[in-house]
Amino acid sequence: MTKVLVPTVCPYCGAGCGFCIAVEKERASGIEYMPDHPVSQGALCAKGNAALEILCHPERLVSPLKRRGEGWVSISWPEAMDLVARGLSQAKKKHGPRSLAFLSSSKCSNEDNYLMQKLARLLGSPHIDNCARLCHSPSVVGLNRTLGAAGMTNPIPDIASSRCIFIIGSNLAENHPVISRWIHRAKDRGAAVIVADPRATPTSWMADIFLQLKPGTDVALLNGMAHVIIKEGLINRDYIDRSTRGFEALAEAVKEATAERTAEITGVAAEDIVQAARAYAKSPASSILYSMGITQHSTGTDNVQAVSNLALICGQLGRPGTGVMPLRGQNNVQGACDMGALAEFYPGYKKAADPKTIQYFSAAWSVHDLPLGPGLTATEMIEAAAAGTIKAMYIMGEDPANSDPCSENVRQALESLDFLVVQDIFMTATAQLADVVLPGAVWAEKEGSFTNTERRVQWSHKAIEPPGAARSDGEIICDVARSMGLQFDYPHAASVLDEINRTVPQYAGITRERLDAGSIAWPCPTADHPGTPILHCSGFNLADGKASIVPVAFRPAAEAASSDYPFILTTGRVAVHHNAGSMTRRSPSLISREPDLYVEMNREDAAALDVQDGDEVKITTIRGETAAIARLGDRVKKGVVFMPFHFPGTNILTTEITDQEARIPEFKVCACNISRRD
C-alpha cells in the first residue's frame, strides 16, 4: 500500500505548526511529525494531534442548501449561485452597494481572503472584515501607530534567546502550547519569566514573578512599571533619542503612577511591580508576549500602546531575544489582515480612507469606482443589520451567532437581513440562520498560503478531496463573482498568489516557487530578498523613521461590580478547545476531555453561595443568563469568575461595549451574578 506524505499547516492557533498528512487510498490515514519545522520541531498540541478527526465527520456539509420553511433542501451548485447572485444583486439594486456586508475568515488561506475582500470592493461595498475584530484589532491599530507594522516583531524560535520574558494577558501554555516550549528553553538557559494575568494558569506556574492583577487594569500596571523604570534611570537613553519620539510626554504622564498607587488599582503588591520592572529593564534582551487578555478590552488599543511604550523606553526591539509579540489566535488571522479583509485597510495595510489607495487598486485591478473607506467593522455590521441599513451579508468561515458578544442580539440581527449566505464546513449557529448555505473545504482539502503569528508565510498542500459536492472557498468566491458579472479568472490558488505578489508590497517576493523551498517572513519586497524575521533593526516604517511613544492614561473597564452583579466575569480559552468550538466540539478526543461549559470560581465565593464543586449554577448579566458547571479553586481571586468561550452559552453574557478605535468588544470584563440552579 502506497503512503504519500503531504505537508500542511495546523488549522488551529496562530503558531503555524507544520506536519504531514499521511494519505493512503485517497484518504487521510494519520499524521507524521516534522522534526525540521522551524516552529513546531516535531511537536503538536492536543488540538493539532486531533486535527484529522473533523475531515470525515458525519456533520460535514456536502452539498449546497437552501431554506425551505423551517428546514433545508439540497440544491445544485448552479442553483445555489443563481440564488446567491440574485440575493446580493437585489439588495444592491434596491438599497445600494453599501447595503452589502462581507465577513471573511481567518481560518481560510491568504488567497481566499484576498478574493473575498476583492469581491466586496468590486461590488462597491467597503464593508469587509474578519474575526481579527474580535481578537487582535487593537494590535493592528496600536502597533501600526507606535511601531509602524502590525505584526510580531521577532520569530518564535527567537524567544529562546530572551533573558527576560514578560507574558501579559496570555495563557500560552494552554492556548499556544508549542510556543510555550520555547519559553521553557529560555528558562533552561537562565531567563527570568514574568507573567501578568487575572488567573493562575499553567503559564503562571512557570513564572519567576507572577502579577495577578484585577481584570481591566493592564494600562495601570504597564504605566506603573514605566514609572519605576524612568524613576530609577533604567531607560535606554541612547535608543530613545535615536529611535523614538514622545518620551518626555510619557515621562510626564506616568509621573504619578507610583508602585504604591499602581498596587491600589491593580491589586498587585508594590514590591512585585518594582521587581518586575527592574527585571525587564535590566535584562540585555527582554521580550513581551501578549494575547487577548490585552486586546479584548474597551481600552484594548491603549493596552497595546502601553506594551509598546515599555519596549521602546528600554530599547528592547530590533535585536534577537527582544521584541513585542502579539500571539495570534487563529491559524491565518495575521494573513487575513495582511490581505485587506479589514474595514480600515485594503491589502498590504493601505488605508481604505486614503484616495491614493483607491487609485492604486483601481489601476492594479483595472476597475473604476472602488469604495472609499473605512467600511463597517464586524461588530458594526451586526448593529447595522439590526438597524436595517445592512440588507444582505456573505459570511465565510465565521460564526458570529456564537462568537460575538450579546449573542442573542446577534442572532436577531442576522435574522432581520433580507438575505444571508453562509459558507462553512458545518451547520453552525450562524449557518442555521442563512437563506443559502455553501459547503466549503477544510484546509487539508485545498491549497494555499497561510501566515502565522510571526509573519511566517507557509504553503499548505492539498491532501485529499472534499466530501460530496463541497468545494474550496476560493472556487466558490470566484463562482459567486462570475455569477454577478465580474471577471474572476483564477484557475488555482497559485494564480491568486501571483496577483498578491503584484499588489501587496510586503508579499512581493513571496512567490509560489519560493514557498516550495520553505517559509518566508514578510516584508519580502523582491524575489531575491530573504524575508525579514526581525523587524525594526534599522528604524521604523513611520514618517520620520522613528517609533512613536504614545502616553495612555488608565481608564476603568466599562462595567464594574455592583450589589446586583457582584462578580467580574472574564473569558478565555482552554487547552482542548478553540475559539467558537465549531471544530473542537466535534472532535471526539477533544470534547471527551472538556465536554461541558463551566464557570471557575474562588472557593470562598462559592462557600458564601453554598455552591459545591460540580454544581450547576446560573450566571446572569444585564444581557441574559446561562447555566454552567461550577469549578472551584484558587485560580481566580475573590470577586472574579472565569468561563471559556468555546460553548454557546458564554457570549450570551458578554458586553457589546467596544474599544472606540479598534471596535473590539470587551470580552474580558463583564459584571455578573451567580446563583445555585436548583
What confidence tens digit (pLDDT) does each residue in 592-609 have? 999 999 999 999 999 999
Q: Are residues 368 and 316 in the same domain?
A: no
Instruction: Tell which residue, 569, 587, 570, 565, has the closest CA to residue 578.
Output: 587
Q: What is the pLDDT of residues 266-319, one digit of tens each?
A: 999 999 999 999 999 999 999 999 999 999 999 999 999 999 999 999 999 999
Contacts for 99 with CB less than 8 Å, ≥ 6 apart:
91, 92, 125, 389, 390, 391, 392
Give yes or no: residues 188 and 320 share one domain. yes
Q: Any idea what the CATH number is for the domain that residue 108 is in?
A: 3.40.50.740
One domain, residues 265 and 198: yes
Q: In this predicted model, what pLDDT tens digit does every residue of 401-440 receive, in sequence order?
A: 999 999 999 999 999 999 999 999 999 999 999 999 999 9
Please give the mean pLDDT across all residues of the chain: 98
At 151-169, the pLDDT tens digits run 999 999 999 999 999 999 9
Do residue 457 and residue 366 come from a single domain? yes
pTM metric for this prediction: 0.97
Nearest of 624, 630, 576 to residue 598 by alpha carbon: 630
Q: Tell whether 105 and 162 lie within a shared domain.
A: no
Residue 413 has a pLDDT of 98
At residue 677 the predicted structure's pLDDT band, cuts being 50, 70 and 90, is confident
pLDDT band of residue 1 (cuts 50, 70, 90) is low
Task: Let me know whether 196 and 314 are in one domain.
Answer: yes
HSE value, Cβ hemisphere, 13 Å, CA-based, for 677: 15
Grid coordinates belonging to 193: 519569566
Do 307 and 160 reside in the same domain of the chain? yes
Alpha-carbon span 141 to 661, nearest angstrom: 8
Nearest to 676 by CA among 596, 611, 625, 605: 611
3-state SS, residue 353: coil
State whether 343 and 438 are in the same domain: yes
Span 497-512, average pLDDT: 99
Asked if residue 670 has pLDDT above 80, the reply is yes
Grid cell in block for residue 103: 465577513
The residue type found at 441 is A
Last residue of a domain, one of 302, 326, 350: 326
- The string of DSSP codes covering 251-316 is HHHTTT--HHHHHHHH---HHHHHHHHHHHHHSSSEEEEE-HHHHSSTTHHHHHHHHHHHHHHTT-
287 DSSP β-pair partners: 165, 323
Residues 107 and 27 reside in one and the same domain: no
Residue 638 within any structural domain of the chain:
yes
Residue 629: give the domain boundaries. Answer: 567-676
Q: What is the pLDDT of residues 360-400, one digit of tens each?
A: 999 999 999 999 999 999 999 999 999 999 999 999 999 99
Whether residue 143 lies inside any domain: the answer is no
Please name the helix (run of DSSP H) or strand (run of DSSP E) that holds residue 479, with its range, or none: helix 473-483
CA dihedral 433, 438, 441, 443 (to 10 degrees): -50
- Asked if residue 511 and residue 477 are part of one domain, the reply reads yes
Region 517-525 average pLDDT? 98
Residue % of the chain over a pLDDT of 90: 99
| pLDDT the model gives residue 567 | 99
Q: Look at residue 553 and tell me whether its pLDDT is greater than 70.
A: yes
Q: Reply yes or no on whether the pLDDT at 678 is more than 80.
A: no
CATH code of residue 15: 2.20.25.90
* Whether residue 106 is found in the same domain as residue 253: no
CB under 8 Å to 27, separation ≥6 — which residues?
A: 56, 464
In a domain, 614, yes or no: yes
CATH number of the domain at 604, please: 2.40.40.20
Q: Which of 277, 304, 326 is the last residue before a domain boundary?
A: 326
Q: What is the tally of structural domains in the chain?
A: 4
Residue 670: C-alpha distances to residues 165, 215, 216, 401, 591 (Å): 29, 10, 10, 19, 27
Residue 543 lies in a domain: no
Tell me, yes or no, whether 44 and 192 share the same domain. no
